[in-house]
Amino acid sequence: MTSHESAIRTLLEHRVDASQAKDIDRLMTLYSDDIVYYDAVPPLRFTGHEEVRRNFLRWFDAYDGPITLETHALTVTAGDADLAFAHMLHLDSGTRTNGMNIGLWVRSSVCLRRSGDRWLITHEHISMPIDPETLRVWFPPQQ
């Protein structure tokens, strides 16, 4: 594992920890000012720190209490230069205010850029698959 890969794995752990704790200030330190964010929910994209911050707060407010995020099938690609990317599955669970208390599997792609010693997320894409017949969200069969 390169030192860059190690740094990115640590950053991704901080991303999960800050999300679970709903620590918006800590979470936002991981994102670049020019972040372009495609989320599981509308609209098509969020651009810049303020829009992304508001959208994270909306997500936090959908839960009564903490969020639980399990990471699965993580792949980190980091060379010895200033760009890197990672993809993973998250099992997202907790007590939701809308009463839907099942775990949701989401796909997560993260693209990063380094400036000096500091890596920042410049693009993130979160989604769930859609059943093409019903146009509703698709839930994987229970494991």
**Residues engaged in binding its own copies (CB under 8 A):** 36, 38-45, 62, 73, 75, 77-85, 87, 89, 98, 105, 107, 109, 111, 113, 122-123, 125, 127-133, 135-138, 140
| Residue 60: CB minimum distance to its own copies, A | 13
What per-residue string of b and e applies to 1-21 under the rule 16 or more CB within 10 Å gives b? Answer: eeebbebbeebbeebbebbee
Of 26 and 62, CB closest to its own copies: 62
CA distance 37 to 76: 19
Paired tokens of 33: 């000012």
User: CB of 5 within 8 A of CB of 78?
Assistant: yes
Of 24 and 89, CB closest to its own copies: 89
| Residue 70: CB minimum distance to its own copies, A | 14
| Residue 92: CB minimum distance to its own copies, A | 12
Of 3 and 98, CB closest to its own copies: 98
Of 65 and 135, CB closest to its own copies: 135
* Secondary structure (H, E, C), 44-88: CCEECHHHHHHHHHHHHHCECCCCEEEEEEEEEEECCCCEEEEEE
Least Cα distance to 84 among 118, 107, 51 occurs for 118
| Residue 52: CB minimum distance to its own copies, A | 14
Of 26 and 113, CB closest to its own copies: 113
| Residue 114: CB minimum distance to its own copies, A | 9
